[in-house]
Amino acid sequence: MVDFTLGEELEALRDSVREFAHDVVAPVIGDYYERHAFPYDLVRQMGKMGLFGLPFPEEWGGMGGDYFALCIALEELARVDSSVAVTLEAGISLGAMPIYRYGTDAQKHQWLPKLTSGEALAAFGLTEPGAGSDAAGTLTRAVLDESTDEWVINGSKAFITNSGTDITALVTVTAVTGTNPDGSKELTAIIVPSGTPGFTVQPGYSKVGWCASDTHELSFDDVRVPAANLLGERGRGYAQFLRILDEGRVAFAALGVGLAQGCVDESVAYARQRHAFGRPIGANQAIQFKIADMESRAHTARLAYYDAASRLVNGRDFKRQAAIAKLASSDAAMLNAREATQVHGGYGFMNETPVGRMYRDAKILEIGEGTSEVQRMIISRSMGL
């Protein structure tokens, strides 16, 4: 028998995060969003709630949960705001998780307690101005100076989340460190602490959405870090980060479902209270059917990420399911955001309304952590095509 009912612990987590999102995030996030300001106070409170430690063992300061718990929290946050949700998602799946998965004991002891408590954030430096979906096109280079036992890094990264906050502790970057026997680039992951000489965080982007999250271009000019800052195995950086991206797509899917469901929540509430021609607009079948389709999309996408997350935490292959969940959730988010804006009419076009923000936030879900086209490539290749 297949049962999609969540256990008591996950239900309790869902309730607590939902309460936090509605009572704490919702009243203030619009102001942060309009000012393009990073919500340090909200991040601090999420840290105190233990959200940044959800999928990590207690020995590293975590909550002893798993990716399913993280996904539940992300969905509830994104029902209200995606900037806060992606700060948590990137802080865990792209920031702390590479250290946990591939770090040495010394690296874990140095960084994980700060990251799992929310005291500090870490970022994932993969994308470059000329290398997005094609990560093998990486141009950033790192050379090992054997005389000083240091990596010397030169290059740049683009669109990096959580990379320039006052509490950003490090960025893990992928760099070309040589050539493989087959002639391809040898890619290696290296930890670069914030404040390292030559490491410059460029001014924040002016973004269409996620306006209360932190995103920067990064430049590296003869940046020197100890050889011990190698993360994982030399030459395995690409493979390591493919695994990290697969996991991250499950979390990203949960975020997309949250946005899609948030559009439903706002549309139902508005359709009940907005009157036209002497009755609530929700009494009109055209609106009813539109919202019914929105709910169907959110529900279907939720089942997809539940499946992917279940496979992940149970040690089963989940790569195809992660791609399906990410594709389904981003499609649902985009379509629901458009329809929610239509339900709200002129009010939906105003940035200060939740659906106005959701409409702006939805598009990046078809791009970040692997475009929708990349997800279709993964799915079709897994079918032998």
> E strand or H helix at 254, and its extent?
helix 237-273
Q: Whole-angstrom Cα distance, residue 86 to residue 186?
A: 30
> E strand or H helix at 379, and its extent?
helix 372-382
The tokens for 282 are 């929700």
Residue in 186, 188, 191, 195 with CA at minimum distance from that of residue 226:
191
The tokens for 256 are 């997309």
Is the separation of the CB atoms in 100 and 240 below 8 Å?
no
Residue in 93, 83, 91 with CA at minimum distance from that of residue 38:
83
Is the separation of the CB atoms in 176 and 140 below 8 Å?
yes
Residue in 135, 136, 128 with CA at minimum distance from that of residue 154:
128
Residue in 128, 217, 266, 369 annotated catalytic: 369
369 included as an active-site residue: yes
Using left for φ > 0, alpha for ψ between -120 and 50, and beta otherwise, residue 294 falls in: alpha
Judged on CB neighbours under 10 Å (0-12, 13-18, 19+), 279 is: exposed
Is the separation of the CB atoms in 173 and 157 below 8 Å?
yes
Cα four-point dihedral sign 345, 351, 352, 356: positive
The number of beta carbons lying within 10 Å of the beta carbon of residue 51 is 26
Q: Whole-angstrom Cα distance, residue 68 to residue 65?
A: 8
Annotated catalytic sites, by residue?
369
